[in-house]
Structure formats: structure tokens, C-alpha cells
Amino acid sequence: MQVQRINRRWGEVNLPKIGRVRFRWTKDLPGVTRGGPQGRITGARLVKNAFGWSIVFRTETLLPALRQAHPGPAVGIDRGVTVALALSDGTTREHQPWLSRGEREHLRRLEKKSARQRATRAQGRPQGRPQGRPQGRPVSHRLARTYAQIGRVRAIAKRRALDWQHQTTTELADTFSLIVVEDLKIPGMVRSAKGTIEAPGRNVAQKAGLNRSISGEAWGRGVTLMEYKSAGRGGKVVKVPAAGTSQTCHRCGHRDPAARQGIRFACTDPGCGWAGHADINAAINIEHAAGTAVSGRGDLTVGRSAKRQPPHAA
Ligand SMILES: [Zn+2]
């Protein structure tokens, strides 16, 4: 793959079947940028999104040899209900809504507009025909334009969420040597809620809400980002079973679902009585559960259970 830098802002690449493609140079590329990462470019593809075309390079890079272990402390992280992330050191990582009030209002108006345009188009169809986006049929130009506008606003939100996620995971990987997170098994959770018509899932609405928020925060992607960022800094990410972490008092170990009331955790063991931020309590439990890790990345050797093969101390 012939990648050339034309000037400070532009590069050019020869793509099979397409020819020469110019692109805005935004990142150091291995094997091209002098003093950039060591490695090589193994592929490229063009991607169209709501903002236009992008080029994505697939690269192989060598991680620089690490001379010393990460000096930072360990931390447990809970994907909070009331905050985006709660840490076992008592801090939180939060963010503003991805869209401003004005942008949300704009999106709402566009969605109403698209519904109106769909309805106009549906007139003249046989009665009882389901309305909605006509499958496999061309949509009107006006409707297509509205869809494109909706797509742009959603893409703005997505880009801001990804940006926050990158900044936050970089900061966490810089700060902590061992990051302990819940093993949420997200694809399973998303699938399990719906059930079938004969056997509908239980608490569908609640789970759907939970799934939406999981997808919204894109927790799984955040964990993946932390895994490679930690590995590059001599740290590691460990996943632990999530069961009970939000219902158990981190101080005395007493487990009671009633102890958690929204944002607040109040231990129901009369001998303990600890009370505080529920998500922080969960984060501390998660950090303590590192001994029962189900998977890890980095130089940690982790077995299926703590009894058989305890992880080496951080
Ligand atoms: Zn307690």
C-alpha cells in the first residue's frame, strides 16, 4: 500500500480498483510518519458516515518495550446508574448530555417531520397497510433529506460520546495500574430481555431500559479501549463477576437487596450501618473481587476460579 504525505494536511493513497485517494492527514501512520509508531499499514477501507467519507487504515504496530511496571494504584469501576462511572477511590467520571437542549429539540422536530413525510407518502396505499419506512422502496427526496439530517445529529452525539470515552479511558489507563470492571456479558443481556411471543421475557421494559443505557454508554467498547490502553502502559484490566456487587456492603460484606435505594446505599446490618454513594460502594466491591477474576489482559495470569489459580498480586 503506497501512502504518501503530500503536505502537512493532506496525504494520498493508491487503492485497488479505486485509484488515488486524497485524505486529510489526522494521525501518525506507522512506516510513513518519521518518528511515528513502528509497524506497517496492512489495509485501508473507505467508510461513509453522516459527515461524509473517511478512510480507515488497518495497522500493525509494535508496543514499545516496557521497562517498568505501571506505578499507579488499583481501582474498581462501576458503570453507575446515577453517574457514568463510579470509582472505588470515591471519585466519579461524568459527562454532559451528548446533545444540547437546542440540538435535542431540533432532533425531535426532525423526527416529527419525517413521520409526517412518511404519512404523506403512505396515503393511497391499501388500508391497514403498516406505515413506517417502506422496506425496499425508494423514499421521497424530501424524506431522504430529513433522514440525512437526523443521521447527522445522531452522528454528532455518537462522536461526542466516543470522544468522551477516549479521553476518560486514557486518563484511567494513565492513572491506574490495575483496573477492575464488571464482566457484564453484554450481548447476552441485550438478547435475553425480549424473549418470544410464547415466552416473553420477564421485566422486559426494565431490561430494555437497562439495555438502552448499556448501549448508550457503550460499556463494552469502553472496556476494550481500557484493555489496550492499559496494556500499552504496563497496566492491566481484569473482569470480575458482577453478581451482588451493588447489593453487598463493602465494609461488612452483608448482602441485602433492600440496602440499595437509588443513589444511596445504607447497610442493613445493625452492627455496621455504613451508608454512602451506592455506585461507589459497588466499585469498591468490584475492586475487592479482583481475586475472583474471570478474565484479564496484560501480564496477569488468570484462571477460571480464584481457588484453582489465583491471579498474581498486582
Ligand atoms: Zn455493612
Cα gap 78→181, rounded to integer Å: 7
Q: How far is the CA of 89 from the centre of ligand 1 (A)?
A: 18
pLDDT band (50, 70, 90) for residue 127: low
pLDDT at residue 109 is higher than 80 = yes
Q: How far is the CA of 289 from the centre of ligand 1 (A)?
A: 16
Q: How far is the CA of 303 from the centre of ligand 1 (A)?
A: 29
Task: Report, as an integer, the average pLDDT of 21-39.
Answer: 83
pLDDT at residue 195 in the model: 47
Task: Report, as an integer, the average pLDDT of 166-182.
Answer: 95
More confident residue, 172 or 33: 172
Q: How far is the CA of 278 from the centre of ligand 1 (A)?
A: 12
pLDDT at residue 275 in the model: 96
Task: Report, as an integer, the average pLDDT of 241-249.
Answer: 88
Q: How far is the CA of 199 from the centre of ligand 1 (A)?
A: 39
Q: How far is the CA of 44 from the centre of ligand 1 (A)?
A: 54
pLDDT at residue 72 is higher than 90 = yes
**Half-sphere CA count of 207, side-chain side, radius 13 A:** 15
- Residue indicated by cell numbers 437509588: 262
The radius of gyration of the chain's CA atoms, rounded to the nearest angstrom, is: 24
User: Residue 116: what are its φ and ψ, rounded to 5°?
Assistant: -65, -45
pLDDT at residue 300 is higher than 50 = no
Q: How far is the CA of 273 from the centre of ligand 1 (A)?
A: 6
Task: Report, as an integer, the average pLDDT of 27-56.
Answer: 84
pLDDT band (50, 70, 90) for residue 140: confident
Check: CB of residue 286 under 8 Å from CB of residue 245. yes
Q: How far is the CA of 98 from the centre of ligand 1 (A)?
A: 37
Q: How far is the CA of 288 from the centre of ligand 1 (A)?
A: 15
pLDDT at residue 115 is higher than 50 = yes
pLDDT at residue 33 is higher than 80 = no
Q: How far is the CA of 253 from the centre of ligand 1 (A)?
A: 6
pLDDT at residue 271 in the model: 94
More confident residue, 132 or 144: 144
Q: How far is the CA of 226 from the centre of ligand 1 (A)?
A: 31
The pLDDT tens digits for 183-235 are 876 544 444 444 444 444 555 455 445 444 444 457 788 899 999 899 889 99
Share of the chain above pLDDT 70, in %: 75
Q: How far is the CA of 287 from the centre of ligand 1 (A)?
A: 17
Question: What is the pTM for the complete model shown?
Answer: 0.71
User: Residue 40: what are its φ and ψ, rounded to 5°?
Assistant: -150, 160
Q: How far is the CA of 167 from the centre of ligand 1 (A)?
A: 35
pLDDT at residue 108 in the model: 95
Cα gap 60→72, rounded to integer Å: 28
pLDDT at residue 134 in the model: 55
Task: Report, as an integer, the average pLDDT of 4-25.
Answer: 91
Q: How far is the CA of 274 from the centre of ligand 1 (A)?
A: 5
Q: How far is the CA of 258 from the centre of ligand 1 (A)?
A: 13
Q: How far is the CA of 14 from the centre of ligand 1 (A)?
A: 64
pLDDT band (50, 70, 90) for residue 105: very high
pLDDT at residue 192 in the model: 45
Q: How far is the CA of 260 from the centre of ligand 1 (A)?
A: 12
How would you label 77-105 residue by residue, b for 16+ Cβ within 10 Å and e otherwise? bbbbeebbbbbbbeebbebeebbeeeeee
Task: Report, as an integer, the average pLDDT of 32-49.
Answer: 83
Cα gap 215→219, rounded to integer Å: 7
pLDDT at residue 284 is higher than 90 = yes
pLDDT at residue 52 is higher than 90 = no
Check: CB of residue 24 under 8 Å from CB of residue 10. yes
Q: How far is the CA of 53 from the centre of ligand 1 (A)?
A: 55
Q: How far is the CA of 250 from the centre of ligand 1 (A)?
A: 7
pLDDT at residue 122 is higher than 70 = no
Cα gap 265→278, rounded to integer Å: 4
pLDDT band (50, 70, 90) for residue 96: confident
Q: How far is the CA of 306 from the centre of ligand 1 (A)?
A: 24
Cα gap 88→175, rounded to integer Å: 13
